[in-house]
Amino acid sequence: MTAEPDSQPHQKIDRFEKERLRKVDQLIEMGIDPWGQRFDGHIPISRCRELAPAESGQDGEQVRAAGRIMRRRKAGKLRFYDIQDATGQIQLLVSRGDVSDEQWALLSALDLGDLIGVDGPLRLTDTGEISIFVEKITVLCKSLAQPPEKFHGAKDTEMLLRQRYIDLIYNPGVVERMQKRSRIIASVRQTLGTRDFLEVETPVLHAIAGGAAARPFITHHNTRAMPLFLRIALELHLKRLMVGGIERVFELGRVFRNEGIDATHNPEFTMIEIYQAYGDYASMMELTEAIVCDAVKSISESLSLQWCGSEIDFTPPWPRLKYADLLQEHAGCQLGDEASLTAKARELGIPTENVHLDVLANELFEATVEDKLMGPAFVIDYPASICPLTKRKTDNPAIAERFELFVQGMELANAYTELNDPKLQEQLFQTQLAGLSDEDSMARMDHDFVRALKVGMPPAGGLGIGIDRLVMLLTDTRTIRDVIFFPLLRPEGQAPATADGANSEGKPQ
RNA sequence: GAAGGCGUAGCUCAGUCGGCAGAGCAACGGACUUUUAAUCCGUAGGUCGUGGGUUCGAAUCCCACCGCCUUCACCA
């Protein structure tokens, strides 16, 4: 092969990184560690602001703070820096007269994005800005990356998702949203804790991916030479624990569904499932109201919240709307009435050949009703045939004691009076409804689960809540990827991933 | 999986009919002791997502591919 001088893709030289590396060397020459060391005794910037004096001219407390340089301004032998930590921002004022020659020289090696620590008294500037009048600067970490534009910030969606740390640093509200997520989850745990529910952890790797209708991710255990599935639900293990005498139990964890990605779906998401022995779906409605209202109160004064321009009033009790009534109202069909169901389905272009009437009804329900449920509202009493894990109504075996909670057209929770009849469960696992593929069906035979039911599971209510969606609704967030730090993205760049998972992404050798 | 939109300097964005690649911020050099999107003078910075094609000439037109977004399908 002829060697062509330009055939090698030459490494792109980032002139900003080059410049900053020059400053790293400059710091090393000054005897300063560019990457910093333990830094004790600093206080949060929000606290600094509280400690500031009321008027300019007054001397405030001597403080030590640490943060990232967000902006800077020069005015001759005065330098202003705005630094940011997890609690806020504060201005630094460095005056040539207040610092040593070495410290003044150090300023020339500082850049936007660097992490520094400072010591000095709190004072107000002439314009009244709370400032730390710096006496000493400690370099805590040099940044080699050029930050986004100081006024417009970072806006490119792809960059914000791939480099969420940029989003976190430079876009106000991102950290706050995730802090609310944390408070919401803590609130859910507390609501359940005060009601004596036991939090447990069950396997993520399942031999049978049951408990919901979804395509699973498939993986493989090498030494056991067995296929495994990532869990699509928490249900069947938690019910086994109820058989074992744990009467109030819940698990909050990640589940995985190999489906499409959009504003309300990410392949891995966080779900909570809760089971209460000797309850039913009605008791789960009350529990749902308590969990959600407590969560709202954990982040808001009011039970009424704004969401994407709409107002959601969470004040309980929420309406209980019957599935059949809603279908009648919005689709003009009656459950089990072939004529009206197929007529409406044809009108909407939904295939009717070889489809169980209840499956058809449910497709009509999803097409005509769900978007209109602004809620919060419980849809109750589903057709039993599409609920293979649910107890039937005593007076009407065609109806299952199931509810789904809808808010803003989004399904937020799903709950049953749990089926505990092992023979009926076994039978339902074997029944595939016409029009549903194996993948689409919740009915997936799990002999071990049936064996557990034979030991005796108490009558119970069970409830599942989509945590990410709950956080979306409570934080005025339109897409699920903004309540998840690192949503799934395709790999970056042209180089395809190799079999051992290595890629061209400048990994350390 | 389908359709539509987007991809230009580190960032935010212009770029007209196909005719020399632009601005602001950031960077670099300089002035300035109360600034806060500081100001002023100067300098440098580009694989126009990638690869083809049409053309005398392509950021611009055509084709394919990659990535992100939106809507739809699947799903919670």
A91, closest nucleotide (Cα–C1') = B36
Contacts by residues A128-133 (CB-CB < 8 Å, ≥ 24 positions apart): A128/A56, A129/A91, A130/A48, A130/A49, A130/A52, A130/A90, A130/A91, A131/A80, A131/A90, A131/A91, A131/A92, A131/A93, A132/A48, A132/A63, A132/A65, A132/A90, A132/A91, A132/A92, A132/A93, A133/A93, A133/A95, A133/A98
Alpha helices in A109-224 (DSSP H): 157-162, 164-170, 174-193
The C-alpha atoms of residue A195 and residue A250 are separated, in whole angstroms, by: 11
> What's residue A1's pLDDT?
33
φ, ψ of residue A301 in degrees (nearest 5): -70, -35
The C-alpha atoms of residue A389 and residue A422 are separated, in whole angstroms, by: 10
pLDDT in tens, A64-100: 999 999 999 999 999 999 999 999 999 999 999 999 9
CA A108 to C1' B44, in angstroms, rounded, equals: 19
Residues 6+ apart with CB under 8 A from A60: A51, A52, A53, A121, A122, A123
Report the run of H or E that residue A80 belongs to, with start and end: strand A78-85
| A163-222 residues near strand B (Cβ < 7 Å) | 212-215
At A226 the three-state DSSP class reads: strand
CA A158 to C1' B7, in angstroms, rounded, equals: 10
Distance of CA A416 to the CA centre of its chain: 25
Beta bridge partners of A269: A255
pLDDT at position A507 over 60: no
Q: Is the CB of A72 under 7 A from strand B?
A: yes
Contacts by residues A30-38 (CB-CB < 8 Å, ≥ 24 positions apart): A30/A102, A30/A105, A30/A106, A30/A109, A32/A106, A32/A109, A32/A139, A33/A139, A34/A139, A34/A141, A34/A142, A35/A141, A35/A142, A36/A115, A36/A138, A36/A139, A36/A140, A36/A141, A37/A140
CA separation (Å) from A117 to A73, A153, A381, A413? Answer: 18, 24, 61, 47
Bigger pLDDT: A332 vs A465: A465
pLDDT in tens, A293-309: 999 999 999 999 999 88
- Please compute the mean of the pLDDT values over residues A132-139 and round it to a whole number: 97
Residue A455's Cβ-count burial label (10 Å; 0-12, 13-18, 19+) is exposed
Q: A5: pLDDT confidence band, cut at 50, 70 and 90?
A: very low
A108, closest nucleotide (Cα–C1') = B28
pLDDT at position A21 over 50: yes
Q: Which of A27-41, A372-386, A436-450, A477-491 is predicted with the least confidence, judged by mean pLDDT?
A: A436-450
- Please compute the mean of the pLDDT values over residues A18-27 and round it to a whole number: 95
Q: A440: pLDDT confidence band, cut at 50, 70 and 90?
A: low
Residue nearest B38 (alpha carbon to C1'): A73
pLDDT in tens, A136-160: 999 999 999 999 999 999 999 999 9
pLDDT at position A496 over 80: no
pLDDT in tens, A253-293: 999 999 889 999 999 999 999 999 999 999 999 999 999 99
Q: Above pLDDT 90, what percent of chain A? A: 72
Helix axes A281-299, A174-193, angle to 10 degrees: 140
> What's residue A206's pLDDT?
92
At A90 the three-state DSSP class reads: strand
Distance of CA A211 to the CA centre of its chain: 22
> What's residue A79's pLDDT?
96
Residue nearest B45 (alpha carbon to C1'): A15
Report the run of H or E that residue A403 belongs to, with start and end: strand A396-407
Q: Above pLDDT 70, what percent of chain A? A: 92
- Please compute the mean of the pLDDT values over residues A377-389 and round it to a whole number: 92
Q: A187: pLDDT confidence band, cut at 50, 70 and 90?
A: very high
How many angstroms separate the first and last alpha carbons of chain A?
28
Nearest to A103 by CA among A61, A131, A134: A134
CA A286 to C1' B11, in angstroms, rounded, equals: 50
> What's residue A502's pLDDT?
33
pLDDT at position A315 over 80: yes
Residue A327's Cβ-count burial label (10 Å; 0-12, 13-18, 19+) is buried
Q: A12: pLDDT confidence band, cut at 50, 70 and 90?
A: low
pLDDT at position A501 over 50: no
A414, closest nucleotide (Cα–C1') = B76
CA A163 to C1' B10, in angstroms, rounded, equals: 14
> What's residue A439's pLDDT?
59
pLDDT at position A481 over 70: yes
A128, closest nucleotide (Cα–C1') = B34
> What's residue A493's pLDDT?
63
CA A3 to C1' B58, in angstroms, rounded, equals: 30
Q: Which nucleotides of B are covered by protein (CB under 7 A)?
A: 1, 10-13, 24-28, 31-39, 45, 47, 50, 66-76
CA separation (Å) from A362 to A41, A323, A352? Answer: 61, 9, 12
Q: Which of A114-123, A206-215, A316-325 is predicted with the least confidence, judged by mean pLDDT?
A: A206-215
CB atoms within 10 A of CB A19: 12
Residue A419's Cβ-count burial label (10 Å; 0-12, 13-18, 19+) is buried
- Please compute the mean of the pLDDT values over residues A192-213 and round it to a whole number: 93
> What's residue A56's pLDDT?
82
Angle at A304 between CA A486 and CA A316, to 5 degrees: 105
Mean pLDDT across chain A: 89
Residue nearest B69 (alpha carbon to C1'): A157
Kindly report whether the peptide bond that precedes residue A487 is cis, defined as omega within 30 degrees of 0. no
The C-alpha atoms of residue A317 and residue A285 are separated, in whole angstroms, by: 9
Which strands, in side-by-side order, build the sheet including A226-230? A205-206, A226-230, A218-221
The C-alpha atoms of residue A116 and residue A139 are separated, in whole angstroms, by: 5
Beta bridge partners of A307: A310
Q: A400: pLDDT confidence band, cut at 50, 70 and 90?
A: very high
pLDDT at position A506 over 70: no
Q: Is the CB of A18 under 7 A from strand B?
A: no
pLDDT at position A438 over 70: no
> What's residue A433's pLDDT?
61
Nearest to A425 by CA among A394, A403, A456, A404: A456
> What's residue A6's pLDDT?
33
pLDDT at position A101 over 70: yes
What the block records as the tokens of A300 is 């808001």
Residue A339 Ramachandran class (φ > 0 left, ψ -120 to 50 alpha, else beta)? alpha
The C-alpha atoms of residue A276 and residue A281 are separated, in whole angstroms, by: 10
pLDDT at position A397 over 50: yes
CA A63 to C1' B21, in angstroms, rounded, equals: 50
- Please compute the mean of the pLDDT values over residues A369-377 and round it to a whole number: 88
| A27-66 residues near strand B (Cβ < 7 Å) | none
> What's residue A254's pLDDT?
95
Pair A369, A375: CB distance under 8 Å: no
- Please compute the mean of the pLDDT values over residues A386-397 and round it to a whole number: 92
> What's residue A351's pLDDT?
77
The C-alpha atoms of residue A340 and residue A331 are separated, in whole angstroms, by: 9
- Please compute the mean of the pLDDT values over residues A121-127 and round it to a whole number: 95
Angle at A465 between CA A462 and CA A470, to 5 degrees: 155
